[in-house]
Structure 1
Amino acid sequence: MKEICTIISDTPYSKDKNGELVGLGPTVEEIDHLGSLFKKIYHFAPLYNIESPKSFVKHQKLNIRVLPMIPSGGKLFFNKLKHVFLFPLHILKLKPFLKKTDIIHFRAPTGFGVLFLPWLYVFWRKKIWIKYGGSWTSNDVPLSYKFQRWVLLHFPKNAIITINNSTVKLEKNFFQFLNPCFSSDIIKNNKNIVHKKNFRNGLNLVFVGRVEKNKGIDDIFKIFQKIEGMKNIKSLKIIGESKRENYYREKANIISHKISILGPLSRKDIFKIYAESHVLILLSKSEGFPKVIMEAGVFGCVPIVSNLPGISEVIKHGSDGFIMDSYNSKYHYKDFQLVFDDMDTLKVCSINIFKKSHSFTYEKYLLKIKNAILH
C-alpha cells in the first residue's frame, strides 16, 4: 500500500498569471516523478510574491499539493532571524498534514533546516528520508550547512540520509544517490546528436544557473576578456536569473559580441541550446553536484567546472570533462585556452560524459528509493 509523504524544502514557488502555483522546474519535475511512488505528497515550500520566471513550471501529478510557507532567510541578519520568528507558525501549519503523514522527506541544507532538523530528531517517530543536496565534504560552506551535516551524523540509524557523492565512509543509513536529471528516453533520442557533434568548426559554450558572482560568472567574464577574439569560440550563451542583469549585459557587450545574456528560459528551450552546444562552463565557488552538468552531459556538452569536492568526485579531468584549478582565487586564462584548442580530447570527453550521464535517470533514482527507503 502506498504511503503519504510530506516534503519540506526551500524550492521557490510563485503564482503564474492564471493564479496557479508554479515552482522551480528541475525540482518540480523530480517531485512529479516521486508522485508515482506515493499515495499523496504534501510539499511545504516558500511562496514568493514575484512574477513567475520562465524556469518555473506547474506540477503535472494530481496527487501533489503545495503548502505555501512564508519565505525567510537571506544575506541580512534580520532576514535570517525570521527563521526563528516564523518557525512556530510553520510547525503549526504543518501539524494537521503531519498527522496524516507516513514519511517526511526533508531536502537539506536550508536555513529552515537549522531549526527543523533538531525538531525532527526530538519529535518525529515515523519514517524519515533526508536528502542532503550540498557537498558533504567541502569546508567552504556556511556554518549553518556544517551544523546540519553534524546533526545528520547524529540522527537515529533508522533515518535514511541520501547524499550525492562522498569518498568519506559513513554509517549504514547513509546512501549515495546520484542526483536525477532526466528520463531514460532522452538518452536514445540524443545518441545521434552527440555522435554527430563537430568540435572543429568553432565551439558553442553555455552557462546555466543564477547569473551571480558565487556561480563564477565574474570569473568567466575575466577569462574571456583575456582570450583575444575568443579564439575557437563561436558563442557563449548565458542562461539564468540575475539581480544584476543589466550590469552583466553591458559587461558582455564590452568583452565580445559572441556573448549573449538570455535570462531565464524554459527547460525545453535550454535543451535546444544544449543540443547546439559543445561545452558547459560552470565555475561555482560553492556547490554540491548541480543537475545542469548531467542535463548538458546527456547532450554531449563537455563540462568545464571548478574544483569542488562534490564535482571532482564525479567528473574525471581530461576523460569526461575538465576540472579547473584557481590560484589565489583566480583562474589562468591559458588553462582554458589549452582546453579550447584540444578538439580531439573535447570530442572524446563529449562521448564519455554522454555515457556517464546514463546513470542519472529518474528511473534509476526511483528504483533506489524503492529499495533503500520504501522496502
Structure 2
Amino acid sequence: MRFTVFTHVAHVKHNDKLYAYRPYVTEMNIWFKYFDEIRVVAPLSKAHFTAIDAPYEHANITFVELKAFDFTSWANLLAALFFLPFNLFIIAREFQKKAHFHLRCPGNIGFLACIIQVFFPRKQKTAKYAGNWDPNSNQPKSYQWQRAILNSTFWSKNMRVLVYGDWPDNSTNIQPFFTATYSEQELHETTAKRDESSVVFAFVGGITAGKNPFYALELIENLHQQGLNCRLHFYGSGDLENALKQRISEKQLSFCKFFGAVSKEDLKAAYQKSYFMILPSQSEGWPKAVAEAMFWGCIPVITPVSCVPQMLDFGKRGILLTGDVIRDSEQLITLLQSGEMAAMSKAAQQWSISYTLESFENAIKAVIHHANITIN
C-alpha cells in the first residue's frame, strides 16, 4: 500500500537521504513502517541539516517537490500566487493515484491539500492537526478555514482528523490524539539528579516572538531579585536570539546561559538537571517540550494555551502562567516554599510516562485499522 503525505515541513537532501525536523520525522517513521511505498510531497530546502533534523527510515521513498510559500510580505504574496497553480496541480495529481493520503496541518501546504481532498471524497485520508484545536482560541484565518474544512463531514469524507485535546462541538471526523518522544525502554532512567544548590529553569523552544523568551527572562530575573538562587538555561535558536543575548549582556544577568539547538540526548540531560521547564508560548498544539520535561519529572511552567491545561490537570501537574510577572513569581515562590514540589514533579512524571513511543505506535496502528488498511 502507498502512503502519501502532504506537509509544509522543509526537507533537506544529504548523502541520498531525506532529512527534516526530528520530532516530525520520528512520528512519520512510525507511520511509514506499515506501508510498502512512501511519497513525501513537500518543499525542499537548500539549507544544511542540523542537530534538530533526522532522516526518514524507509527503503522506498519518493520525494515530490512543492514550492514553499508564505504571505509575510507583498513580494512573498506575489511569489505565492505565482507558485499556486504549480502546487495545486502537483497535489491534485497525487490524489489521483491509489494511496492512503495523510495531511499535516495547519500549514500552507496542508491548506492546499485540504481544498483538493474535497474533490476526492472516496479516497481514504487522515490528517494530523498539530496546532491548537481549541474552538475559542484566536487563530489566523487560514487556520480557522483548515479547521472548518477538516471538521466538516460534508467537505471532508473518509477522513480521520487527529487533534490535541478533547474539545466540544467536534464532528465524527475528529479523534483526540497525542504524540510521544521517549520509549518504554527509557523509563528506568527517570530518576533525575538535580543540583540542590540552585533552581534551574530550562527554556526549551525557538527563540522567537511566539515563544515569548523575554517574558521567561523577566520572570526569572524577578525571582532572582527576590533572593531566589536560580538559573535560566536557553535551549533553542531563533530570530530573537541576538536581541535576547544583548538584553542579558546589558543587564549583566550572569544566571542566564545559552546552549542553542541541541540533540535529543543533550536535551534529555537538560530536563534531568532542571527543576522547571518554562515556556510562555502564545500558541501551541501538543507542546512536545512540556510532555518531554514531565517525563523526567521536570515541572512545566507554561501559558494555558490549547490543551496545556488538560495536560497539567489544570495546575496539579505544573504551573499555568498568567502573564503577570508578580503573580507568576508568587506562584513559583509559593510552590518552592510549600514542600509540594516533589509531589507535583511525581504527578507530572506519572502522567507523561503513559505516553511512550510504544503507546503512540499502537494508537497509530488503530487509526490505520480504522481506515481498513491491512497492516504490513
Contact 2:42 2:109 in 1 (8 A): no
Deviation at 1:321? Answer: 0.8
**Match of 1:52?**
49
**Residues 262/371 of structure 1: CA separation in 2 closer, same or farther (3 Å cut):** same
Specify which of 13, 20, 23 is matched with residue 23 of structure 1.
Answer: 20
Contact 2:248/2:256 (<8 A) preserved: yes
* Number of residue pairs matched by the alignment: 366
Q: Which amino acid aligns with 2:310?
A: E
> Does 2:340 correspond to 1:345?
yes
Please tell me whether the aligned partners of residues 3 and 32 of structure 2 are also in contact (alpha carbons under 8 angstroms): no
Correspondence for 2:124 = 127
The residue that corresponds to 2:297 in the other structure is 300
Residue aligning to 2:166: 166
Shift of 1:340: 5.8
- Relative to structure 2, which stretch is displaced further, 289-298 or 199-208? 199-208
SS at match of 1:313: helix
- Is 1:190 equivalent to 2:196 in the alignment? no
Gaps of 5+ in 2: 371-376
Please tell me whether the aligned partners of residues 191 and 296 of structure 2 are also in contact (alpha carbons under 8 angstroms). no
* Change beyond 3 A, Cα 1:107–1:343: farther
1:366 aligned to 2:361? Answer: yes
Q: Give the match for residue 143 of structure 1.
A: 141
- Find the aligned partners of 1:348 and 1:166 in 2 and give their Cα distance: 26
Query: In the aligned structure 1, how far is the partner of 2:7 from the partner of 2:326?
Result: 34
Q: Which amino acid aligns with 1:245?
A: E
Secondary structure in 1 matching 2:33: coil
- Pick one of 59, 76, 79 that aligns with 2:76: 79
Give the whole-Å Cα distance in 1 for the aligned partners of 2:78 and 2:337.
50
- 2:203 match: 207
Cα gap change, 1:34/1:202 in structure 2, threshold over 3 Å: closer, same or farther? Answer: same
Q: 1:64 and 1:359, CA in 2 relative to 1: closer, same or farther beyond 3 A?
A: farther
Match 1:222 to one of 218, 227, 230: 218
| Deviation of 1:141 (Å) | 1.5
Q: In the alignment, which residue of structure 1 is the partner of 2:11?
A: 13
Q: Deviations over 1:337-356 (max 9, x none)?
A: 42562363222121111111
Deviates more, 1:295-304 or 1:46-55: 46-55
- Letter of the 2:181 partner, please give it: C
Q: Which of these residues, 243, 249, 257, is aligned with residue 247 of structure 1?
A: 243
Q: State the secondary structure of the residue aligned to 2:86.
A: helix
TM-score, normalised by the number of residues in structure 2: 0.88
**2:173 counterpart of 1:177:** no
C-alpha distance in 1, partners of 2:240/2:256? Answer: 16
1:117-164 per-position Cα deviation (integer Å, ceiling 9, x unaligned): 121111353111011111111422111111111111223442111111
The 3-state SS of whatever aligns with 2:300 is strand
* 1:47–1:201 CA distance, 2 compared to 1 (3 A): same
Question: Aligned partners of 1:210 and 1:222: how far apart in 2?
Answer: 17
Q: Find the residue that maps to 1:218 and give its secondary structure.
A: helix
C-alpha RMSD of matched pairs (Å): 2.5
Aligned-partner SS, 2:42: strand
The one of 272, 275, 278 aligned to 2:272: 275
C-alpha displacement at 1:48, in angstroms?
Answer: 1.9
Deviations 1:52-109 (A, max 9, x none): 3321122233344443322211522442454443233224445665454421100111
Aligned-partner residue type, residue 137 of structure 2:
N
CA distance in 2, matches of 1:322, 1:199: 21
The yes-or-no answer on 1:102 pairing with 2:71 is no
Q: Quote the offset at 1:35 in angstroms.
A: 1.8
Deviations 1:257-304 (A, max 9, x none): 121122111222111211211211011011112111111211111100
Structure-1 residue corresponding to 2:319: 322
Aligned-partner Cα distance in 2 for 1:339–1:14: 47
Aligned mates of 1:310, 1:212 — CA distance in 2: 21
Quick one: structure 1 residues 63 and 356, their matched pair in 2 at CA, closer, same or farther if it must change by over 3 Å? Answer: farther
**TM-score normalized with structure 1 length:** 0.88
**2:8–2:110 CA contact under 8 A, matched in 1:** no
After superposition, the Cα gap between the structure-2 partners of 1:342 and 1:82, relative to the gap in structure 1 and judged at 3 Å, is farther
Change (3 A) 1:317 1:256: farther
Which whole-Å CA distance do the structure 2 matches of 1:284 and 1:246 have between them? 19
In the alignment, structure 1 segments of 5+ residues that lack a partner are none
Are the counterparts in 2 of residues 241 and 264 from structure 1 also a CA contact under 8 Å? yes
CA distance in 1, matches of 2:63, 2:183: 23
Correspondence for 1:152: 150
Which amino acid counterpart does residue 112 of structure 2 have in structure 1?
L
Secondary structure of the residue that 1:285 maps to in structure 2?
coil
